[in-house]
Copies of this chain bind each other. A is one copy, B any other.
Amino acid sequence: MAITAAHVARAPRIRLGMVGGGRGAFIGAVHRIAARLDDQYELVAGAFSSDPDRAAASAADLGVARSYASFEEMAAKESRRKDGIEAVAIVTPNHLHAPTALPFLKRGIHVICDKPLTGTLPDARRLAKAIQGSNSIFALTHNYTGYPMIRQARAMVAAGELGDLRLVNVEYIQDWLTEAVEASGQKQADWRTDPARSGAGGSTGDIGTHAFNLANFVSGLTLDTLAADLQSFVPGRRVDDNAHVMLRYTSGARGTLWCSQVAAGQENGLRLRIYGTKGGLEWGQENPNYLWITPYNKPKYRLTRGGAGTGPDAARLTRIPAGHPEGYLEGFANIYAEAARAIIARRDGTALDPATTFPGLKEGLEGVAFVDACVRSSKKNGAWTKLAL
């Protein structure tokens, strides 16, 4: 039991609002726990639903005093309050990310937005422009990059411990859309399989973007082209529920990405493997506290979060000792914590820890362009296709 520094001094909490995440939602609750975990945020306002009654009821459930019937109203009114929100969490379906973010960005309110950035490339570009023209910090919750052992993996790759990278293998496979659950009115499935709300990608947008982001984050590679074969296995489904994608990186490295929502019996099988001239690594989201390192011609070893051999990049996002597992919520909270560091440094004019790292606009654009390229490649029978960045 190495004792870690979970006790840290903290600045006054960041006043946070939320759009979406009312009764029946899933990811909103996750964002709230993530915001709360390290005590850096205080949820003080919300437009939890486009349905005013549901919005009010949700605010009451959560003990949030300032409830708004619309995000526009919230942006406008909060920006005029002296104790108004400093940041907003956007946890709506994809097609609303851009329109929701705009009024907050315009007013210099920081934005923490669920992924993918938007449902469409034009929306993404419009949002990019708004972000670039604003004074706001923009964070995108590609939460898996918050896992400490992913930080460790990235640091080791960057330090050359795997040598020159040759191969990236990433997959994110689930089974929750094995049957036509959207037909039953299940709320999560409903909008995620509706191109108007989700975007042109189904599995590619919902989880393929996570896989793509994770591979980029750890490998540091830049995609050149991809060749995709997308499927909609469930009759009547309007978006892909499985995708096989071959990857070519600019460095000459190659890879594959597999995302699926019809891999029966799989839960959240996000798994990354990378191989270079000197060694390999392997990490799986379902047991995220472990990182396997497999040097060529040396014994394979397993690093554990908080354990021996794990370096400062992991340690700074670690709360508890090795052997006491941290999970999904802690990893998600790390994105909130990283964003908090940036927001507080901006607010207080203090120095930002240079190690602070969180996904933002660049990663968001790449994700939407990835989905777009997959869809275009698949329509051309798997032709090698560049991201339209």
Contacts and interface: CB of A to CB of B under 8 A. Distances in A.
A327 interface: yes
A276 B264 contact: yes
A56 to B, nearest CB: 13
A219 interface: no
Q: How many copies of this chain does one complex carry?
A: 4
Contact of A382 (B278, B279, B325, B382): B382
A79 interface: no
A159 interface: no
B26 A167 contact: no
Interface string A4-18: 001111101100000
B265 A295 contact: yes
Contacts of A8: 61
Contacts of A155: none
A309 B329 CA distance: 23
Interface in A367-389: 381-382, 384
A289 B286 CA distance: 9
A328 B326 contact: yes
Contacts of A327: 289, 324-327, 329-330
B269 A323 contact: yes
A261 to B, nearest CB: 8
Contacts of A30: 6, 320
Contacts of A191: none
Contacts of A263: 167, 273, 275, 280
Interface string A305-337: 011110000000001111111111110000000
Instruction: Give the interface centre of A13, A30, A58, A384 by most chain B CB atoms within 10 Å.
Output: A30
Interface in A167-203: 167, 169, 174-176, 178-179, 186-188
A300 B297 contact: no
Nearest to A178: B296
A76 interface: no
A351 interface: no
Interface string A127-156: 000000000000000000000000000000
A279 B179 CA distance: 11
A166 B13 CA distance: 49
Interface stretch (A92-100, A112-120, A227-235, A354-362): A227-235
A9 B25 CA distance: 13
Given A12-B63, A39-B63, A300-B304, 10 more contacts: A3-B188, A32-B39, A229-B246, A244-B246, A246-B382, A260-B275, A265-B275, A298-B309, A301-B302, A329-B329
10 contacts: A1-B188, A10-B62, A33-B37, A36-B36, A264-B277, A267-B304, A267-B321, A298-B308, A320-B328, A381-B384
- The 9 A-B residue pairs whose C-beta atoms are closest, nearest first, are A265-B294, A267-B323, A268-B323, A299-B309, A325-B327, A327-B327, A6-B29, A324-B328, A301-B301
